[in-house]
Amino acid sequence: MSVPHFDVGTVGSTARFEVISYLLRQAAGWLEENAYVELEGAIHLLAELAMVIHALAQSDKPADQHIAHTLLAQLAYENELVDLLVRLFKDFKPTQQSRAALGDLVLLAAAILHLFRDFSQKEGVVVARKAPAKRKKKTGAAATEEEREEERAVETGAP
């Protein structure tokens, strides 16, 4: 994703997680209420915020990088944004929502995935991972050597 380098100035210096979190809660409420005009505005604003965070992360200024790191860490561990994105894609209604809203939604998802990928590569962390489902253990003659190896791999976390 190519984002032009620019000085984000006051936007970057005043960016706070509380504002983003409030917008995410409002967007979830608008999705429940089928208030698509407001929801489309929120999606567009979130996409713009993702690009601002990306610009902050790419900045040469340590203060901008610190702001981006803090926001990304909070977004990565709160899961509000990821949960909302999944719901927005699942509940998208092409007969009631515009193509521009779908474009903004795709842009938002791509920007967030890109940001999380860069964040996890720099920090050496996994953004989100579901635990593998545990299978019932078979005992006696029904259990084969292969099943036992799979169970050991799941227990130890090996691929």
Global pTM exceeds 0.95: no
Contact 8, 52 (CB under 8 A): yes
So what's the pLDDT on residue 97? 82
So what's the pLDDT on residue 145? 65
So what's the pLDDT on residue 31? 85
Nearest alpha-carbon partner for 129 in 82, 84, 81: 82
So what's the pLDDT on residue 82? 82
* Alpha-carbon span 44 to 50, nearest angstrom: 10
Mean pLDDT by groups of 10 residues along the chain of 159 residues = 52 65 85 86 84 81 81 77 86 85 88 81 61 63 60 55
Distances (CA, A) of 4 to 8, 72, 105, 119: 11, 19, 20, 19
